[in-house]
Amino acid sequence: MLLADVARTSRQVAATRSRSAKVAALAGLLGVAEPAQAPVVVTYLAGRLPQRRLGVGWRALSGERPPPAPEPRLTVADTDAALARIAAASGAGATGRRGELLGELLAAATEEEQDFLTRLISGELRQGALDALAVEGLAAAVGAAPDEVRRAVMLGGSLGAVAEALLARGQDALAEFRLTVGRPVLPMLARSAADLDEALDRLGPCVVEEKLDGIRVQVHREGDAVRIFTRTLDEITARLPEVRAAALELDVRSAVLDGEVIAFDREGRPHPFQDVSGRVGSLTGSLPLSPVFFDLLTVDGRDLLGLSTERRHAELARVAPEPRRVRRLPVPEPASGEARRAAHEFADAVLARGHEGVLVKALDAPYSAGRRGAAWLKVKPVHTLDLVVLAAEWGHGRRAGRLSNLHLGARSADGTSFVMLGKTFKGLTDAMLAWQTERLLALAEDDGGRDGGGRDGGWVVRVRPELVVEVAFDGVQRSTRYPAGVTLRFARLVRYREDKRAADPEAVASVDSVLALLPGRAAG
């Protein structure tokens, strides 16, 4: 299959708002794909790269392109091999080598293919053909029920693997994808609720669990063999001997458990997420980790996915001792005032112990692997601060030509200056992007290259610290990248505060107020 076929289908999908037309276009392409090509084709159509990351930045992609090829000749296999070579470049001179390989690939592509590749590599392939549509297109191509294909993807862990099997063997291949110990499945995910009362109202009979700020893990045990996977299905067994030992202590022959890896201090309070992440991400480290399980997907040959939350919890309680299970409070009658007060007291206690919030789960819900369904709702306290904009970066892709990523600052301890805490480009609507570009350029101390490309390679527009913004964030963590030694987690813009002047001491949060939010410095 030629890359031009994929690029053309991508353009067709992007050009229509009709879901049925999108699915038909995807089905038409997948229906003529060779099974061996299917994993790459379907991954491209979902807007991702099989290699995940190439180490190619936007500057390399936004430079002058080589003259396009006059006729399509790049195959999907050629493209995948070229991208694999780019991803594999390492060591001294790797950046230059990646640039050379990228140039060679683009030179072999037509103009339409160049545009497709650039958007695919940069993550800007906004064509509406994300996984859900790709699943429906695949189902239509082989005449299968979308729900059955979706379940196969969840249990197989890979859209590409399911696509290859279906195109090679038809609908009968769906039976191959079942919950198997040793093969990770996509985890069930939670949506957000504004507060605990909203979650209780939406779910009805439920259970409230402490939400641990750790690393999500899926633990597979078969006899004495244990394998541990992340939420992205990467295996990290060798890094977590404590988790392997804990899994072997359980009273089971085989099981698949869902949980978190966390670290506790001597007082039983959790270490910050970044400490846990650093320990898990390295092959060495002295920080002792503890697994805490909150779900059981299969045990001793019995598939529990279709059972209710309540029944799976009962099975988990049978095989895992209390220290290995997440704390939870059943709320079978959330409309009751007494039950609601108990739920709030439980949530307050969770925050007081230093955890990040609670998860509220419907008691009758099955485990929907790979879905961010409405049966699990997370409730976390949202912090907000008024900060000042110190600079902004020119956007790229859909935000090209507009100032996007904001540099955020708090007032210094002595009150005489502002100290950068981090950046955010989240929460910005198109209208806000247009407004802030005009407003920030009026405050600019340098323009960073008004064409959005950056003068002399510059991308940052530094501005006078006058514009105040309200920023929401989930927490604070230590960071050596910023002068204050801390940064905000998951910061996003709420609104501009033109009613406040940065020159007024009370208008902008201080570094001291941010430091007080560090884990261990203040409850919650």
Residues marked active site are found at 211
Using CA atoms of 220, 221, 227, 232 in order, give the dihedral in degrees to the nearest 10: 0
* Separation between Cα atoms, residue 254 and residue 259, nearest integer Å: 16
User: Cβ atoms within 10 A of the Cβ of 344, count?
Assistant: 16
Query: Rounded to whole angstroms, what are the CA distances from 198 to 195, 225, 355, 375?
Result: 5, 42, 20, 13
* Separation between Cα atoms, residue 308 and residue 314, nearest integer Å: 10
Please measure the distance between the N-terminal and C-terminal CA atoms of the chain and give it in whole angstroms: 55
Name the residue among 294, 324, 300, 304 with its Cα closest to residue 368: 304
Backbone angles phi, psi at 507, to 5 degrees: -80, -25
* Separation between Cα atoms, residue 387 and residue 445, nearest integer Å: 19
Sequence-separated (6 or more) residues with CB below 8 Å from residue 7: 112, 113, 115, 116
Using CA atoms of 333, 335, 336, 338 in order, give the dihedral in degrees to the nearest 10: 100
Sequence-separated (6 or more) residues with CB below 8 Å from residue 396: 58, 62, 122, 124, 452
Helix, strand, coil percent content, the chain, rounded in steps of 5: 40, 25, 35
* Separation between Cα atoms, residue 50 and residue 192, nearest integer Å: 29
User: Cβ atoms within 10 A of the Cβ of 124, count?
Assistant: 17
Residue type, 196: L
SS3 string of 372-391? Answer: EEEEEEEECCCEEEEEEEEE
- Please, are residues 421 and 484 in contact by the beta-carbon 8 Å criterion? yes
